[in-house]
Homo-oligomer: A and B are copies of this chain.
């Protein structure tokens, strides 16, 4: 595929000066429009060494308001990478709404660089599997971002092996630039032909309509610059037009019909959940047995915590459940016996403005524990299909999509070697009433109970349906 590309393309004399200024003006304006439409944009620069990434990126950002973009140098990151699932650092870098993230190299380096060899073999089920997983991970990552309204533009800057050699040699021959070419660069040059199939594979496998590749013929820098400017402008224009047309379709719809009710109707009896109804809520344990077992298990857990650290396995413990079911108490008994240097409790409440400006899974990715550590989530990403569903903070389309998104995220964690435990804590309505009342009557506990807790209680049946559907759809092997 790459070999068939006509690399002789170039601009006529004077053409660049005639085209560039108006293209740049237009791009600056589009950036402002994308900002007011709250669109996050990702622009990736992949390509051969010496293809001119630096210069071309610089030309692209000239017309942009620096308050609205950020350049991420991916090849410089990575000292810590092997302590996290492969896509974690890239989730961290996703731009907030209305901003542009420009990637100098990207997650595709996972597929071409030495990364595969550097991964701890203890975690990888063989390189082949890992590579297959990486494709799935990347497709899932880009797909989830696109679904959330991110615009993804991917460039591959293409030059021939001969041209690359010429450019590397020119850099080496100049005393001012020779430091920029090291033995590694020459080694990669030697590997040019062997790398072609790897590049073709990732371009073909990840060229999706929501995240298409544009191959840029980069022998003539002016031609490349114009192609990049045109592509970015065109992609933003098309994206904004799509948003507009979706809006007007929705307006037409809502003009014709009644608006769909924000709060779901009360469930019919046949829809009533059965999982919770069939639980034996009277299970109990004697005080003395509890204390004895607690002590034994805590001792064991202390050891296991250190073992996780030695084996560099990350662990995620997720707590969900009805209000006042005792999540806090469980977490306390868990952490009592753990080394505070090895775990972190990550409380989840309503997202703040910065979190809202990102994909809803972003804050859980950024909090993912380093290999060897334990992340204890007090409420979790399941909020999307629980509180956000019931309260209408997520649209029906959004929360229905979330089951698959959550399963994909958890699968990536497990593939990396993480241990994931998810707990649902259940009490019945009578017990909750008693606990709420006790909290109100106990001065030291009053801060734990708010009007919102009572309000949520009124929606018990809706929460029960949501929780049951969640358990059914996300209790994977």
Contacts and interface: CB of A to CB of B under 8 A. Distances in A.
A340 B58 contact: yes
Contacts of A345: 66
A431 B340 CA distance: 60
Given A79-B79, A353-B352, A67 B340 contact: no
Contacts of A67: 347, 349, 378
A442 to B, nearest CB: 12
A341 B176 contact: no
A336 B32 contact: no
Interface string A33-74: 000000000000000000000100110011000110011010
Contact of A66 (B32, B57, B331, B352): B331
Interface residues of A, number: 44
Interface string A437-450: 00000001001000
Interface in A335-355: 335-336, 338-341, 344-345, 347, 349, 352-354
B58 A338 contact: yes
Contact of A179 (B102, B310, B347): B310
A345 B303 CA distance: 48
Contacts of A426: none
B340 A54 contact: yes
Given A180-B306, A444-B29, A73 B341 contact: yes
A209 interface: no
Interface string A180-198: 1000000000000000000
Contacts of A179: 306, 310
Given A29-B444, A347-B67, A54 B341 contact: yes
Interface string A223-241: 0000000000000000000
Contacts of A104: 340-341
A192 B80 CA distance: 32
A294 to B, nearest CB: 15
Contact of A80 (B79, B335, B336, B339): B79
A256 interface: no
Contacts of A335: 58, 61-62
Interface of A: 25, 28-29, 32, 54, 57-58, 61-62, 66-67, 70-71, 73, 76, 79-80, 102, 104, 176-177, 179-180, 303, 306, 310, 331-332, 335-336, 338-341, 344-345, 347, 349, 352-354, 378, 444, 447
Given A71-B344, A102-B340, 17 more contacts: A25-B444, A28-B444, A54-B339, A54-B341, A58-B336, A58-B338, A58-B340, A61-B340, A62-B332, A73-B341, A79-B79, A104-B340, A176-B306, A179-B306, A179-B310, A352-B353, A354-B354
